[in-house]
């Protein structure tokens, strides 16, 4: 039988503080590590984007055209007969937009092509050409609505978003190369990069919307085309508002509010 | 985006469940340690052991346990592994495993008076697993010679 004092000492050891287990909270440990990784990734992305945006904005027309030519596809896209009339109309609108914006004059030809797709979409490619999906052209949009979509894409070109997206891809490649050494660090770094990318992309879309709205007012004297296009797609998609936090574009409500308020 | 949400939800769930299980285990270990506080005595050091008392029974007793960390602990340890530092999340697992193995050994020798030459061995299972997210498991074996004295005349 252990001595009474020995018994009490043992009891104290069992009930007392466990020296073999760290006293630091696991959650605190995790928060510090997570915060550190998020901070490092954000600082890197923001610094990289600030520097690259500065150089892209200051870039000469020759350099811009040289970079765009690197992405030029040699493949000739044939425009289906069905869409030729709409493309002809878009070409006319394009000329009017270029006439109204000195910053894009003497740059890319902004060739308009058709992309077979079941999604309603239009996009500007890194080579400066614009793609309209067949589904979008099938929507029977009015001239002003088509002008809004085209001006939105030209807005991306005017803001050099197509070049900024290339610099973003380089930044993500660097993050993946460093964080890729560990799968857990990589999963956090990629998640943070994605959130930053989506937030930045939504800002770019807003800027392009404002540009398109301004162009519509300059050319047609009204932005009704912008409003009716947004409302049309808003009724078609009808997604809950929070979904747009996971999207590259702002919500339709936000976009509508933006074009309505910018007109005032 | 969806990946990071799934990851955060998984971490939150595994942290909540893992913490509950760990707290419950520590509580049970403490209760059992208090219950066994009076017997049997453990001697870890002696390689040669003598007694003048008459021995009734000698047997080898073992206590084995395999314990694994939850996803949250493994995730935090993985991050720590990248930057370095104390793996505090695994310290509690090692402590639980060691104490549980000793308790099981002592419970096997409940009627003995002393366990001599007690030893503890620990190994990590799956530590060389090619699977990047493999959750490490720790195996601890406590063993010793349980000696029961004959009743004193």
Other Cβ atoms less than 10 A from the Cβ of A45: the count is 21
pTM exceeds cut of 0.80: no
Task: Look at residue A242 and tell me if it is in a domain.
Answer: yes
Residue A6 lies in a domain: no
Q: What is the mean pLDDT of residues A148-165?
A: 92
- DSSP one-letter string for A225-259: HHHHHHHHHHHHH---GGGGGGSSS--HHHHHHHH
Q: Across the interface, do A187 and B11 touch by the CB < 8 Å criterion? A: no
Nearest partner of A188 among A30, A24, A26, A28, judged by Cα? A30
Per-residue pLDDT, averaged over A41-60, amounts to 91
- Among A24-28, A139-143, A178-182, A233-237, the range with the most confident prediction by mean pLDDT is A139-143
* Residues in A touching B15 (Cβ below 8 Å): 26-27, 30
Does residue A216 lie within any of the structural domains? Answer: yes
For residue A85, being part of any structural domain is answered with yes
Count of beta carbons in the 10 Å neighbourhood of residue A29: 20
Dist. CA A88–CA B27, nearest whole Å: 78
Looking at the domain assignment, is residue A181 inside a domain?
yes
The count of structural domains within chain A is 1
Q: ipTM of this model?
A: 0.70
Average per-residue pLDDT in chain A? 86
CB contact under 8 A, B76 and A183: no
CA–CA separation, A103 vs A100, rounded Å? 9
Domain with A238 in it? 35-261
Residue A4 lies in a domain: no
Are B4 and A18 in contact (CB < 8 Å)? Answer: no
**Inside any domain, residue A98:** yes
- Name which of A7, A24, A192 is nearest B88 (Cβ-Cβ): A24
pLDDT score at A249: 85
Phi, psi at A143, each rounded to 5°: -60, -45
Q: Which residues of chain B have pLDDT under 50?
A: none
A115-142 confidence digits (pLDDT tens):
999 888 899 998 888 999 999 999 888 9
Those residues of chain A whose CB sits closer than 8 Å to some CB in chain B are: 1-2, 7, 10-11, 14-15, 18, 20-22, 24, 26-27, 29-30, 33-34, 36-37, 181-185, 187-188, 190-192, 194-195, 198, 246
């Amino acid at each position: 039988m252990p001595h009474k004092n020995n018994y009490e000492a043992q009891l104290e050891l069992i009930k007392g503080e466990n020296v073999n287990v760290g006293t630091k909270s696991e959650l605190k440990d995790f928060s510090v590590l997570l915060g550190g990784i998020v901070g490092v990734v954000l600082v890197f992305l923001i610094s990289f984007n600030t520097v690259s945006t500065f150089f892209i904005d200051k870039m000469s027309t020759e350099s811009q055209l040289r970079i765009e030519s690197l992405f030029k596809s040699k493949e000739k896209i044939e425009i289906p007969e069905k869409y030729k009339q709409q493309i002809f109309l878009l070409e006319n609108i394009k000329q009017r937009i270029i006439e109204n914006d000195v910053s894009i004059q003497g740059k890319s030809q902004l060739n308009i092509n058709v992309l077979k797709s079941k999604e309603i979409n239009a996009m500007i490619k890194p080579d400066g050409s614009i793609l309209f999906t067949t589904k979008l052209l099938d929507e029977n949009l009015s001239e002003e609505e088509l002008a809004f979509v085209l001006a939105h894409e030209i807005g991306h070109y005017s803001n050099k978003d197509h070049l900024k997206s290339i610099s973003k891809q380089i930044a993500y490649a660097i993050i993946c190369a460093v964080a890729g050494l560990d799968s857990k660090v990589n999963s956090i770094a990629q998640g943070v990069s994605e959130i930053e990318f989506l937030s930045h992309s939504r800002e770019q879309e807003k800027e392009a919307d404002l540009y398109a709205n301004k162009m519509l007012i300059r050319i047609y004297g009204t932005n009704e085309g912008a409003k009716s296009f947004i409302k049309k797609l808003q009724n078609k998609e009808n997604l809950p508002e929070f979904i747009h936090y996971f999207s590259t574009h702002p919500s339709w409500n936000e976009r509508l509010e933006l074009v309505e308020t910018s007109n005032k | 985006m969806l990946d990071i949400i799934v990851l955060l939800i998984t971490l939150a769930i595994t942290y909540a469940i893992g913490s509950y299980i760990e707290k419950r285990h520590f509580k049970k270990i403490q209760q059992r340690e208090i219950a066994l506080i009076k017997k049997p005595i453990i001697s870890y050091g002696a390689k040669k052991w003598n007694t003048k008392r008459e021995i009734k029974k000698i047997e080898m007793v073992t206590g084995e346990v395999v314990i694994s960390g939850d996803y949250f602990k493994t995730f935090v340890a993985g991050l720590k592994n990248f930057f370095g530092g104390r793996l505090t999340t695994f310290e509690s697992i090692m402590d639980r495993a060691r104490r549980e193995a000793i308790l099981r050994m002592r419970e096997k020798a409940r009627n003995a008076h002393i366990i001599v030459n007690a030893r503890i061995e620990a190994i990590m299972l799956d530590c060389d697993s090619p699977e990047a997210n493999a959750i490490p498991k720790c195996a601890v074996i406590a063993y010793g010679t349980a000696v029961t004295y004959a009743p004193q005349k």
